[in-house]
Amino acid sequence: MSIQRLSYLGFEVSDVAAWRAFAGARLGVMETSVGEDGARFRIDSRAWRLDVRKGTADDFSFAGYEVDSEDALVAVRKRLEAHDVAVTVEGPDLVADRGVLGLVSCRDPAGNRVEIFYGATEMFEVPFVSPIGVSGFLTGDQGLGHYVLNVPDTAAALDFYIKGLGFHLSDVIDWKLNNELTVRLYFLHCNGRHHTLALLSAPAGKTLHHFMLELNQLDDVGLALDKFEADRAIVATLGRHTNDHMISFYGATPSGFAVEYGWGARGVPPGWSVVRYDRISIWGHRFV
């Protein structure tokens, strides 16, 4: 028994006000709750998908993965424990905070917090409305999107996410950063989305390299591209990736890590084989 999809992401951010403005006006996500020390955002029928909390890290805080039932949650916990991972069964306060029916948590080998739950809150009675008219985000069976973690030991992280949590390797890119340095990127899937998580070990940088939101229409990406260009906040130009074929650009967030804003990715159909690539992109994605 393994996890079904990524449901939510949490970030620790130094400037909550900047994130509230950025999330609405640049990402087009819908603010659903604001507290003294943070805010939450919706991108579909779920009660929340992104959580920003005041702190000093300006980096990844937690990822929430969904299973279909209480039995599945017990099975994932047992699978992790059989893999020598310490799992915490979370109490009613955190369960209520996340708006779920049952929740366990653990840390990956790099110390990144992973939450697994069943029973997310749906809010069909309050339809998702983008403050900037984004047509919609591609979620559903593929979950929130994807994120990329920079970890000190990719072998240990792969062991945890594949053997512990049940991810499958999609493919590998040997990413040539310069003449001296090539970094191997590992792309992992847990459903039809080409990758929900990617792992690399880079010599510098934040734990969260970027997170990705997938739009329903190419025009959503183009309209956002214009806004990020006007802000001089482009991290990488428009391009198409070699592995998932997504057309996307990368923009700067108020916390320094990047957001990938994309459209048109291919999935991993039955019969998919692990492959490798020497380039991250077919065209574009020039880092600014």
Distance, C-alpha 95 to centroid of its chain: 21
Which tokens is 76 given? 């994932």
**Shortest approach of Fe ion to residue 216 CB, angstroms?**
17
3 neighbors 63 (Cβ within 8 angstroms): no
**Shortest approach of Fe ion to residue 101 CB, angstroms?**
30
DSSP state of 46: B
**Shortest approach of Fe ion to residue 148 CB, angstroms?**
6
**Shortest approach of Fe ion to residue 223 CB, angstroms?**
20
- Closer CB to Fe ion, residue 79 or residue 281? 281
Number of Cβ within 10 Å of residue 212's Cβ equals: 23
- Closer CB to Fe ion, residue 43 or residue 212? 212
Interface stretch with Fe ion, choices 46-54, 114-122, 136-144, 260-268 (CB under 5 A): 260-268
Token match 């591209």: residue?
225
**Shortest approach of Fe ion to residue 222 CB, angstroms?**
18
Number of Cβ within 10 Å of residue 4's Cβ equals: 17
Examine residue 90 and tell whether it contacts Fe ion (CB under 5 A): no
**Shortest approach of Fe ion to residue 8 CB, angstroms?**
17
CA geometry: angle at 179 spanning 178 and 185, to 5°?
A: 50
End-to-end C-alpha distance for the chain, whole angstroms: 42
Contacts with Fe ion, 183-222, as mask; x by CB under 5 A: -----------------------------x----------
- Closer CB to Fe ion, residue 40 or residue 209? 209
Which tokens is 115 given? 């939450």
Q: What's the CA gap between 245 and 248, in Å, rounded? A: 9
Q: Nearest Cα to 102, choosing from 134, 65, 130? A: 65
Give the alpha-carbon dihedral of 64, 135, 256, 19, to 10 degrees.
-80
Q: Contact with Fe ion (CB under 5 A): which of 213, 238, 260, 281?
A: 260
- Closer CB to Fe ion, residue 138 or residue 212? 212
**Shortest approach of Fe ion to residue 189 CB, angstroms?**
13
Interface stretch with Fe ion, choices 24-32, 79-87, 159-167, 252-260 (CB under 5 A): 252-260
Assign 112 to helix, strand or coil: coil
Backbone phi, psi, residue 257, to 5°: -75, 165
Q: What's the CA gap between 185 and 175, in Å, rounded? A: 7
Positions touching Fe ion (CB under 5 A) are: 212, 260
